[in-house]
Amino acid sequence: MRLRRGEFERIRSVLADADPDEPLTAREILDLLAEHGEEFDSAHRVATVLGRRADDGEIEVIRDQPYRYRLVDLP
């Protein structure tokens, strides 16, 4: 039985590989995930996963309309 990586780890891996120049919306991240063969149900799910990790300091949430998300470089 193959274990699946967690949702945040999958998002983080794709974002780290893509290394975007600016924060991305959940929809842009969803599209980027699809380009890398990672399936997610919706942009809402992406936003939920990233919002939870913002509390831990791993994601920066820019609260514009729409919200944008950026990986935080941890030491």
Over the chain (75 residues), what is each successive 10-residue block's mean pLDDT?
70 93 97 96 95 90 94 74
The predicted pLDDT at position 25 comes to 98
pTM: 0.88
The predicted pLDDT at position 73 comes to 78
Domain containing 65 equals 7-71
Domain count, the chain: 1
The predicted pLDDT at position 13 comes to 94
Q: What's 44's domain CATH number?
A: 1.10.10.10
Please report the DSSP string for 8-42 in residue order: HHHHHHHHHHH--SS-B-HHHHHHHHHHTT---S-
Determine, yes or no, domain membership for 55. Answer: yes
Amino acid identity, position 29: I
